[in-house]
Chain A
Amino acid sequence: MRILLIEDEARIVELVSRALAREGFVVDAFSTCADGHEALSDIHYDVAILDLGLPDGDGLALLAAIRSGGNKLPILVLTAKDTVEDRVHGLDTGADDYLVKPFAMSELIARAKALLRRPGSALGAVLSAGNVVFDTIGREVRVASAAVTLPRRELAILEHLMRRLGRVMPKAVLEEKLYGIDDELESNAIPVHVHHLRRKLLDAGATVEIHTVRGIGYLLAETKS
């Protein structure tokens, strides 16, 4: 998988590139908007990481230019600007996610992977978390290479949780995604499904865990070793 990194701070480029390479990504780094834009027209990238403060212009302008060209490339924006207004502006301009410097490298990688896990993205077809692999096309789940059979609703819940690995999936959103308007929805339907799913993952020896954030929703996290 190929990542485009547009960042002018040489040390950041070096460290980010190294960390991403360790995760198995190929990284092309450019230090100006112009170079970055040019590279985009030649090569198909899976994710772009874009710094906003660039020597030859504001990264937001580049972002707008990319989006106006109809390019759906997932873009993660990096910035030292951190007011919420900046953040909202960045997302409005078409950023898929936003990370404020200084950031933890693990966070950057997690965010980049989350973008890649979106349906239609590079990692969108086969999701993985810990030792759990989810083939979203074959609707097949394997824990440590062993197939685990899950009913349709539990599969759907697991898929959504895996796409949002490490972040909270609000229960309300899950309900929306799982049930049609006409479906009779019992108030404890989702918790019951999650309970079963949790038990099955545990039984299968999965190294992921479904946490409940009471009052909000669920969060899938890799179990700490």
Chain B
Amino acid sequence: MIRDWRRSLQFRLALRVAALYIAATVVVIAILMSRAFDTARSLSDRELIGRATELAKYLTVDENGRRRVDLPPKLSGIYDNPNSADIFAIRDAEGRIIATSQSRFGELVAEWPPATDNPAYFRFPLGAGPDHYEGLSIRVSSPAGPLSMSVGRAEGDAAAVYSLLRKFIHDIIWAVSFLVLASLVIGVFAVRRGLKPIRDVSEMAAAIGPRATSVRLPDKNLPSEITPLVAAVNRALDRLEDGFAVQRQFTANAAHGLRTPLAIITAALDGMEGNGELSKLKADVARMNRLIEQLLRVARLDGIVLDVAGIMDLNEVAGRVVEAMAPWALARERMIAFNGTETPVVIKGNGHAVEDAIRNLVENAVVHSPVRTEVVVTANPDGSVHVVDQGPGIPGSDRKRIFERFWRGKGKGSNGAGLGLAIVAEIMRLHGGTVDVDSRSEGGAIFTLRFKLTSAPQ
């Protein structure tokens, strides 16, 4: 059986889980990043606003109404350096510059509209270099009335934070990817392990056929999702087995039931004296008897478990068949002979069934032999039995089909039911042996049954 791997449950599950994991990873990382950067920005905003508020505290108004900023040494040390990374500019409500840490920044800020309560962000180049200042303007109340504060710092300072963040996220991505991969692998293995009992059960189910209807699928170790299916299949098998049993029983009963009326007809015809029609009728009834006989044998072979474990002497059984069949063959003006072995040919098998098989071959051979020719049955020490006739032989094209049920040759109609050789094949199959047919160079067919010799005769 070729499985389409794309339709496999494992593959589909793995595919979906992988897609889910990848999507989840992307979303988680995106959220993580956006939250981290948000937090970083809001932290930096808060710090800048804090600075603005602090700076505003140092604004004083002297008695002349002049406003000035007196920074404590700690702050002035930061801001007074002309190359400082931190800058500020303070304007009054009308936009006039009150104080600035760098005049260049003051000139720039002077052109901006006054700040509001909501921070307004800015970013501008720092001199000729590639670096930028960034910051915000916000309105802050002070003892000297509302002020428009603009604070900023060199971008590089904030960049360190972001680079830290990026490194953190980079690490997180690896960790998350590893986790995703690991859980995917674990998931696939779990599914494989979980499905193993199903594969086992499938193999058992594959063995179920008309001859092995008593097999039931075990639900041990199966995933609980599957047990209802298995239980349902088992119930279906129960019903099928019942059906088979009924059918076999029917064949047996029908054949059996037909026997008594047939016996009456046979007996009645036997008692009649008459013309040619009567002998034809007798032949018809004989044929029907035979068909029913064979049907019963087939039904029995189908219906029972044949015990083939018995120890038997193939030579003796073959001889017994010849002995029993001789009167019948002689009545048809055919001779029959037996070539036995000196010592017993010990095989494992069911004596009655083997007898049946050989008898069917002999019947077949006698029916297809010309008058006054001999059918020879030979038992061989190697566990084979030959039945040789001098009939027309079996054409090569028919050699396979003659063992099928109800198959009958196209040539001149023998009156068989087409079951005899099928029964032989079935018996041989049950014995683990073979039956084949060949033509003899001098004409006629040679049927060979081959049994396995048993090494330990009792």
Contact = CB atoms under 8 A, between A and B. Distances in A.
Contacts of A213: 322-323, 326, 330, 335-338
A222 to B, nearest CB: 11
B256 A80 contact: yes
Given A80-B256, A211-B330, A217 B323 contact: yes
B365 to A, nearest CB: 15
Contact of A102 (B266, B300, B340): B266
B352 A84 contact: yes
Given A213-B323, A215-B339, A216-B319, A11 B264 contact: yes
Contacts of B352: 83-85
A148 interface: no
Contacts of B326: 168, 211, 213, 216, 219
A18 B296 CA distance: 30
B222 interface: no
B73 to A, nearest CB: 122
A214 B338 contact: yes
Interface in B251-270: 256, 259-260, 262-268, 270
Interface stretch (A26-34, A61-69, A103-111, A138-146): A103-111
Interface residues of B, number: 35
A11 B330 CA distance: 31
B271 interface: yes
Contact of B264 (A15, A168, A219): A15
A102 B327 contact: no
A153 B126 CA distance: 145
A213 to B, nearest CB: 4
Given A9-B260, A167-B327, A105 B338 contact: no
Interface residues of A, number: 31
Nearest to B353: A84
Interface in B349-393: 352, 355, 374, 376-377
State the majority secondary structure of interface residues on A.
mixed
A185 B316 CA distance: 23
Nearest to A82: B296
B323 A166 contact: no
Given A15-B264, A166-B327, A221-B330, A215 B259 contact: no
Give the one of B267, B293, B323, B324 with max A CB within 10 A. B267
B177 interface: no
A211 B161 CA distance: 119
A112 B270 CA distance: 16
Interface in A201-225: 211, 213-217, 219, 221
Contact of A168 (B289, B323, B340, B376): B323
B268 A15 contact: yes
Interface in A1-39: 9, 11-12, 15-16, 18-19, 22
B340 A215 contact: yes
B341 to A, nearest CB: 11
A160 B295 CA distance: 37
A216 B263 contact: no
A168 B271 contact: no
Contact of A105 (B259, B266, B355, B374): B266
B330 A105 contact: no
A101 interface: yes
B323 A12 contact: no
Contacts of B268: 11, 15
Interface in B299-335: 300, 319, 322-324, 326-327, 330-331, 335
Interface string A79-99: 010111100000000000000
Contacts of B376: 214
17 contacts: A9-B264, A15-B264, A15-B268, A16-B267, A19-B267, A80-B259, A101-B262, A102-B267, A105-B271, A211-B330, A211-B335, A213-B337, A214-B335, A216-B319, A216-B326, A216-B338, A219-B327
- 7 shortest interchain CB distances as A-B pairs: A215-B338, A214-B337, A102-B263, A105-B270, A84-B352, A15-B267, A101-B263
Given A105-B266, A214-B337, 4 more contacts: A211-B335, A213-B337, A216-B319, A221-B330
